[in-house]
Amino acid sequence: MDKLVLASRNPNKIEEMAQLLKPLGIEVLSALDFPELEEVEEDKPTLEGNALKKAEYVHSVTGLPSLSDDTGLEVEALDGAPGVYSARYSGENATYQSNVEKLLSEMKNSENRAARFRTVVAFVSDKETQSFEGIVNGEILKEQKGEGGFGYDPVFQPEGYYQTFAELPSQIKNDISHRGRAIQKFVAFLSA
């Protein structure tokens, strides 16, 4: 395999994943390189379902091995919400900021701040379909901290750290994050 297409147009995700895939020494493309690709509706009830749907679609159009990710923030005090609905948590026109505000408001009376990010990465090639899961445990702070990262990063503090993902250097986020861990498993699988 000398090329891989990331089934994403999100520049933050593409950058993180390209960094994590460097050990493979292959050319990493993304949906931005294939204007003919349409937006895939993430309408499955699970992260696994959405990740597979995206990777299968991109593989079917490009004919190249494809890798997708779907991520959810699972908050204990909210019974696992927003979970698979993390992207549209605050409604159809949700932004990163409106989602974070809704989360802080839903949790304003909650002492239990435990949460985790869970990513499922799906790989689809001519020969095989595989998925890999990555989890990072942590807590939701009461206020936003930091300018880096994206999404819920300014309120998520991973276990063992006193900084949020938006404050930690991207190298550390990549080493310990949900997406980092799922892609490390994929890299190990391909290298085996």
Binding site for ligand IMP (CB under 6 A): 42, 69-71, 73, 86-87, 96, 99, 149-153, 165, 177, 179
Going by their DSSP bridges, the two strands 27-30 and 82-83 should be labelled as unpaired
Smallest distance from ligand IMP to CB 114, Å: 16
Smallest distance from ligand IMP to CB 94, Å: 7
C-beta nearest to ligand IMP: residue:
151
Among 182, 41, 30, which Cα is nearest to 120's? 182
By beta-carbon proximity to ligand IMP, the closer residue of 83 and 127 is 83
Q: Where are the alpha helices (DSSP H) in 65-118?
A: 96-106
Smallest distance from ligand IMP to CB 71, Å: 4
By beta-carbon proximity to ligand IMP, the closer residue of 55 and 87 is 87
User: Which backbone phi and psi does 120 adopt, to 5 degrees?
Assistant: -115, 125
Can you tell me the distance from the alpha carbon of 125 to that of 132, in angstroms, rounded to the nearest whole number?
15
User: Which backbone phi and psi does 85 adopt, to 5 degrees?
Assistant: -100, 20
By beta-carbon proximity to ligand IMP, the closer residue of 186 and 192 is 186
Residue-wise over 71-106: b if at least 16 C-beta within 10 A, else e?
Answer: bbbbbebbeebbbbebbebbeeebebeebbeebeeb
By beta-carbon proximity to ligand IMP, the closer residue of 70 and 139 is 70
Smallest distance from ligand IMP to CB 153, Å: 4
Show which residues are catalytic. Answer: 70
Which tokens sit at 63?
A: 């004919």
Which tokens sit at 1?
A: 């395999």
